[in-house]
Structures are given as structure tokens and as C-alpha cells.
Amino acid sequence: MLQLINISLSFGGQELFRGLNWHLRKGDRVGLVGPNGAGKTTLFRLITGQLEPDAGTIQRGRAVTLGYLPQEGIEVAGRSLFAEAMTNYWPAMAISNIASRSWGGFALTPRSQKCSPV
């Protein structure tokens, strides 16, 4: 369970949240979508405790485990998270392309049930 109760937060005179109330129950899944600067990352930082609200309370259940992957700033083996992910993505794509070229020119025909050139 996660509960945001009457949360308010401002940055540099700009109000991001005022009187925000949100209750997530066990099993809930949520996706946040919005334009840049709408406060999505800031909301996650409030939920994870990286930021404190100007007003209001955030209650996290005792058994709640939060997982959060920030959009920037993580390095793995000296590379950005994106670059690290790509080290595994490109070899997998190469294998997929080789496989599709090797097998893509053949199809099973209903009569023979054997591979025949297309």
C-alpha cells in the first residue's frame, strides 16, 4: 500500500502539486504519462523519499518494496544504462537478422510438409 495524502510541492515559485491525494493498493499497476516538466519524475522522487513534500504525508506499507529506475545518471561498467543495454541488444538483433535471412527463404508446403524454396 502507498498513500499520498494532501501533498503539495513547489519549485522556484512554481506549484507542481497542491492537495494531491493518491492511494495505491496491493496489485495496482500504474503508468505515468505526461509532457516534459509535468512532474512525473518529481512524483517518483517524492514516493521514493528522495524529496520531501512542502506539505502532506506519504505513507508506505511495511511490506512495500519500491523499484525505481531513474531516467539519467546511472552508470554500469563505466557506461550509461542505455549504452549497457545496447551491448546486449545489438548482438541479439544480429542473431535475429541472420536467422531470418537463413530461414526466411523457405516455407513448409501443405503437400510435402518439407522445406521448399519460396
Residue ranges of the domains in the chain? 2-60, 73-103
Closest to 46 in 3D by CA, of 19, 6, 7: 7
| N-term to C-term CA, the chain | 56
Once rounded to an integer, what is the mean pLDDT over residues 5-12?
93
Q: Is 93 exposed, middle or buried (0-12, 13-18, 19+ CB in 10 A)?
A: exposed
Percent of residues, the chain, with pLDDT higher than 70: 66
- Output the pTM of the full model: 0.58
- Strand 2-11 to 14-24 pairing: antiparallel
Cα–Cα distance for residue pair 67/60, rounded to 1 Å: 13
CA distance 78 to 89: 18
pLDDT in tens, 20-60: 999 999 888 888 888 888 888 899 889 988 999 999 999 99
The predicted model gives 7-15 an average pLDDT of: 91
pLDDT at 112 over 50: no
